[in-house]
Structure 1
């Protein structure tokens, strides 16, 4: 076991340095304003939850959970997602007071990494949850707000890829007779490993029905035509999915930014209806995802429909255009005796929109290096005003 050095951090953890923190804060402010204007209320859940509730219900593999034991001997987890804790508090209290319920969050989640691969174990998610509405309009609202929020935050070049968990589940279970083979293909779809599906079809004798569906879907067959070609996949849920698509085709916010892909499969297993992923030009990772999860609240004794989405703040910040708003950062050198004067002068600069740092000059060891962090330097110690 290696010795931990003082400057080391746990696997997957990151420091947020001042410039990036400022970008985070600017984004949060814009997002909160947009979200609250659209009728959603922000909520904060605890970082620690019980393993018996949130840990077991979470859609993530247990190996991805950070576990610890409290002084009562209860197993706890650091929250691995936000949707499940929000479902808990909504079922316990909020839905009894307001239904449908619109909630929002901006919090960190924690997912353990098994090896260093550049992936964070702690990251920030921003999202919405619409609870208590099973209609196609609720799904359309979530998609509309996802697109609107991204534009509000400065992103224009993005795509929302929409699928349906019920449709793909029905295809796997109806067209593949073996449960083991169903799971294999599901994992290939989650990974978007279509080459392995081709190989699987060549090796598995009973692959023809699903492989025909796969080829039609990957070839761009429309949803209606796909359901006509495979009538055994037409259920009430998939018919509602057609209604969702017909609705969003009329929404200006979603024109030219969405596409239907029946092969979208989320690694979060609680989705039951529409699912979607958000991709942005310049990012190698999905910016966010969401969908309908009508069965999740049953785990907390409440049976209501639910849909929502979340955005990965770290992935989004990597591709957002840098702010072009000019900000002057001024350094104001002072002495102890001139401190009151420095405060008055700093107030004047702040009135003009500048960011001002007042610094006792004799405390700076390397003035040349220090001054490189500022746009303007005013030195009261030399009588400059």
Structure 2
């Protein structure tokens, strides 16, 4: 049989598995337009890098983009009907997104699947969403599933006290993401700031591991009431996940600060065994609705079907070698 047909069959199987799981959790499937006005993304704070957008100019000279994101148009559409959230809304999608990558091997068009859960923030709801992410990865029969969980407020509180320039802030975020303690300490030595705060920042890359251990260590550097409240919040989320038997799959990572302009609370990434990058990413974005003059707190996550297939094939290859 033609390998492309086999790939197509696997592709549809993954989409079917995702759709079944999302539907079973009362999420309604929706679709957004393939073309959107460039202004929708250029004026909104989001995770979308404008340089990655695929732009198209229509005969009148207006600039459009091929859909680079799904969360933003869904939030905009919901804001037309609701200026304030009065009841929860559950949506899921499976559709193409288009983004250019510096890596020429990466395709511009990818199929993204995800959920958007518009609801008020609470440990119960956030744990429910992470639980859905874990169940989704289990449905896809992945091994060694891990969810790394962080929170934007913890890091934001520290860098606010440091009074960094935008350039310094960007560099510090990059060093923390890379867990590069040497460069973090070198940057901090150039700053005129309280030594206790500097020490707290150096600890962030080390705040990684089992929830109970990491949260205990984090208490030692939580020097504001907001940071302490964040730790209590994460502790409650992890407690709820443990009650569902997922304690072995949970990791706390306070260095998880990517896309922080987009998210405004808990953030998480899903990993599976023997695959070196996330297969799923998500978090809470309570402020995105403000871009459309609406109060629409929400949490969600997304995954690329192509990445899921690569991760699945990789595990099968490894298992095949082990069995041989």
Task: Tell me if both proteins adopt one fold, taking TM over 0.5 as the criterion.
Answer: yes
Q: Is the 8 A contact 1:170 1:233 kept in 2?
A: no
For 1:349, the equivalent position in structure 2 comes to: none
Residues 1:47 and 2:34 are matched in the alignment: yes
Find the counterpart in structure 2 of residue 320 from structure 1. 312
Task: For residues 272-307 of structure 1, give each alpha carbon's deviation from its aligned partner in whole angstroms, at most 9, with x where no partner exists.
Answer: 000011111121221111010000011122102100
For each residue in 1:326-348, what CA deviation from the matched residue of structure 2 results, as whole angstroms up to 9, or x when unmatched? xxxxxxxxxxxxxxxxxxxxxxx
**8 Å contact from structure 2 (residues 273, 315) kept in 1:** no
- Which of 61, 65, 84 does residue 73 from structure 1 map onto? 61
Q: Work out which structure has the larger RCO, using CA pairs closer than 8 Å and 6 or more positions apart in sequence.
A: 2
- Of 86, 96, 119 in structure 1, the residue corresponding to residue 74 of structure 2 is 86
1:264 lines up with 2:251 in the alignment: no
Tell me which structure has the larger Cα radius of gyration: 1
1:22-74 C-alpha deviation (Å, 9 max, x unpaired): 11101111211121011111111111111111343232222111112223332
| Aligned positions, number | 307
For structure 2, the residue ranges without an aligned partner over 5 or more in a row are 208-212, 317-324
Aligned mates of 1:297, 1:159 — CA distance in 2: 30
Match of 2:150 among 163, 166, 178: 163
Q: Structure 1 residues 218-227 or 159-168, which shifts more?
A: 218-227
Runs of 5+ in structure 1 lacking a partner?
Answer: 1-15, 325-385
Conservation of the 8 A alpha-carbon contact between 2:88 and 2:117 = yes
SS at match of 2:47: coil
Verify: 1:101 aligned to 2:89, yes or no: yes
Determine if contact 1:165/1:265 at 8 Å carries over to the other structure.
Answer: yes
SS in 1 for 2:274: coil
SS in 2 for 1:283: coil
Q: Distance in 2 between matches of 1:209 and 1:78?
A: 47
Query: How far did 1:151 drift?
Result: 0.5
Structure 1 runs of 4+ off > 6 angstroms?
A: 94-98
The structure where helix makes up a greater share of residues is 2
Q: Which residue of 1 aligns with 2:235?
A: 242
Q: Per the alignment, do residues 51 and 269 of structure 1 end up closer, same or farther by CA in structure 2, a change over 3 Å counting? A: same
Q: Which moved more, 1:314-323 or 1:21-30?
A: 314-323
Pick aligned residue for 2:100 from 80, 103, 112: 112
Matches of 2:144 and 2:89, distance apart in 1: 31
Please tell me whether the aligned partners of residues 102 and 128 of structure 1 are also in contact (alpha carbons under 8 angstroms).
Answer: yes
| Residue 64 (structure 1) aligned with residue 57 (structure 2) | no
Query: Given the alignment, which residue of 135, 154, 172 partners 1:148?
Result: 135
Q: Distance in 2 between matches of 1:59 and 1:321?
A: 28
Deviations 1:306-332 (A, max 9, x none): 0011112222111226999xxxxxxxx
Task: State the Cα distance separating 1:240 from its structure 2 match.
Answer: 2.9
